[in-house]
Amino acid sequence: MTTDNNLPHGFEPFADLAARWARPTEGERSLIRWAASKQDFADFYSAFMPRLDDALRLLAGYPLEGLEGPPRNLFELVCAFAEAAPHHELYGGSAAVPHSFSAQRFVPAHRDRPSISPEIR
């Protein structure tokens, strides 16, 4: 998440979730996800899923280039949610992917680049 913790109007109730989960890079979000508990995934999912469509609609109105401030914070929260949701929906709340190799072995080439970087789109 950028240095401020603000989210767009209407998304302020998710500031605590953003402070915990939202980070600019996949690598940073992965570290948080790998350390999360079943309850962490359930809490994130149950709180944010009902507003996901609203968040995506709001973000669709912004160009990705130069996204900053509250919209960028929301974008990073949506990225974190997209990466965390399968752990709740499919993996029984496990931070690991069942019947697979360790996720820590997978190192994306763009791991340390912000998710809004043109190189990863």
Kindly state whether residue 48 falls inside one of the protein's structural domains: yes
Q: C-alpha angle 86/67/27, rounded to 5°?
A: 40
Q: Give the C-alpha distances (Å, rounded to integers) separating 29 from 16, 35, 61, 69, 110.
A: 15, 10, 24, 18, 13
Domains held by the chain: number: 1
Kindly state whether residue 59 falls inside one of the protein's structural domains: yes
- Which range marks the domain in which residue 58 is found? 12-96
Amino acid identity for residue 6 in this structure: N
Confidence (pLDDT) at 114: 73
Output the pTM of the full model. 0.80
pLDDT in tens, the chain (121 residues): 545 779 999 999 999 999 999 999 988 998 999 999 999 999 999 999 999 999 999 999 999 888 999 999 999 999 999 999 998 887 667 766 654 555 565 666 666 667 776 655 5
- For residue 41, the Cα-to-chain-centroid distance in whole angstroms is 12
Kindly state whether residue 105 falls inside one of the protein's structural domains: no
Kindly state whether residue 107 falls inside one of the protein's structural domains: no
